Amino acid sequence: MKVSFHGHAVVKIEIGGKKMIIDPFINGNSLTDLLVQEVQADVILLTHGHNDHVGDTVEIAKANDALVVATDELAIYLDWHGVRTHGMHIGGAHTFSFGTVKLTQAFHGSSYTEADNKRIVYTGMPAGILFKAEGKTIYHAGDTALFSDMKLIGEMNDIDLAFLPIGDNFTMGPDDALVAAEWLKAKKIVPIHYNTFPVIEQDAVLFAQQLTSGEGIVMQPGDSLEI
Residue 117, domain member (yes or no): yes
Residue 87, domain member (yes or no): yes
pLDDT tens digits, 52-79 = 999 999 999 999 999 999 999 999 999 9
Mean pLDDT of 21-29: 98
Confidence of residue 171 (pLDDT cuts 50, 70, 90): very high
Mean pLDDT of 37-43: 98
pLDDT of residue 39: 98
Which sign, positive or negative, has the C-alpha torsion 112, 114, 115, 118? negative
CATH number, residue 154 = 3.60.15.10
Report the percent of the chain where pLDDT is more than 90: 100
Q: What is the mean pLDDT of the chain?
A: 98
Range of the domain at 22: 2-222
Confidence of residue 105 (pLDDT cuts 50, 70, 90): very high
Mean pLDDT of 83-96: 98
Residue 20, domain member (yes or no): yes
Residue 95, domain member (yes or no): yes
Residue 12, domain member (yes or no): yes
Number of domains in the chain: 1
pLDDT of residue 33: 98
pLDDT of residue 162: 98
Residue by residue, what is the 3-state secondary structure of the chain? CEEEECCCCCEEEEECCEEEEECCCCCCCCCCCCCHHHCCCCEEECCCCCHHHHCCHHHHHHHHCCEEEEEHHHHHHHHCCCCEEEEECCCCEEEECCEEEEEECCCCCCEEEEHHHCEEEECCCCCEEEEEECCEEEEECCCCCCCCCHHHHHHHCCCCEEEEECCCCCCCCHHHHHHHHHHHCCCEEEEECCCCCHHHCCCHHHHHHHCCCCEECCCCCCCEEEC
Mean pLDDT of 67-92: 98
Residue 227, domain member (yes or no): no
Mean pLDDT of 106-135: 97
Mean pLDDT of 152-179: 98
pLDDT tens digits, 174-203 = 999 999 999 999 999 999 999 999 999 999
Order the strands of the 161-165 sheet from edge to edge.
93-96, 99-104, 128-133, 136-140, 161-165, 188-192, 215-216
Confidence of residue 107 (pLDDT cuts 50, 70, 90): very high
pLDDT of residue 21: 99
